[in-house]
Amino acid sequence: MAYQGTPGYSGAPGYPSAPAAAYSDWITRVGAYLIDAAPIIAVWIVFEILAVAVGSVAFAVILYLLAAVGSIGYGVWNRWILGGQGQTIGKKQLKIKLVSEETGEPIGTLNAFIRDICHIVDEVICYVGFLFPLWDPKRQTLADKIMKTIVIPA
């Protein structure tokens, strides 16, 4: 089944792309990412302040381990489980969603995980891959192109 969100677009070769307005803009995607990252950043800042205030190395190590485990757990839940269902916390707040370019459906947990691994390609070229949505007709990062995913208004 082809993506049906925009008339005349199927995602298949030979079919026209949807108008740029059918895809989420770069700044909205960045905003969603920052919303997703905010809880992790906040926890690390609070734990760092606590570690310095208490002054105990053992306490600091425990806090850092808790922060690391919590960050990983939150990342798995938000980026892969919720993201695989189409919307992370940030995407939901900014009313955008991640879907398969070919089906228009959420990509699932495994593909969300693989897409995150594919973001290494975006990073390896000095993070330029994350800027691709600024000029790409479908506003895709390189990882999106590899995984055949698009981010659209929800």
142: nearest Cα among 109, 125, 119: 119
Q: Where in the sequence is the domain holding 134, given as residue range(s)?
A: 24-153
Q: pLDDT 10s digit of each residue in the chain, 154 long?
A: 444 554 444 454 554 556 667 999 999 999 999 999 999 999 999 999 999 999 999 999 999 999 999 999 999 999 999 999 999 999 999 999 999 999 999 999 999 999 999 999 999 999 999 999 999 999 999 999 999 999 999 9
Instruction: Tell me, yes or no, whether 138 lies in a domain.
Output: yes
* 8 found inside a domain: no
**Contact (CB, 8 A) for 35 and 51:** no
Domain count, the chain: 1
Q: Residue 32 domain-assigned?
A: yes
Does residue 3 belong to any structural domain of this protein?
no
**Model pTM score:** 0.84
Question: Residue 14 falls within a domain, yes or no?
Answer: no
Within a domain: 11? no
Confirm whether 18 is domain-assigned. no
Looking at the domain assignment, is residue 94 inside a domain?
yes
Alpha carbon distance, N-terminus to C-terminus of the chain: 19
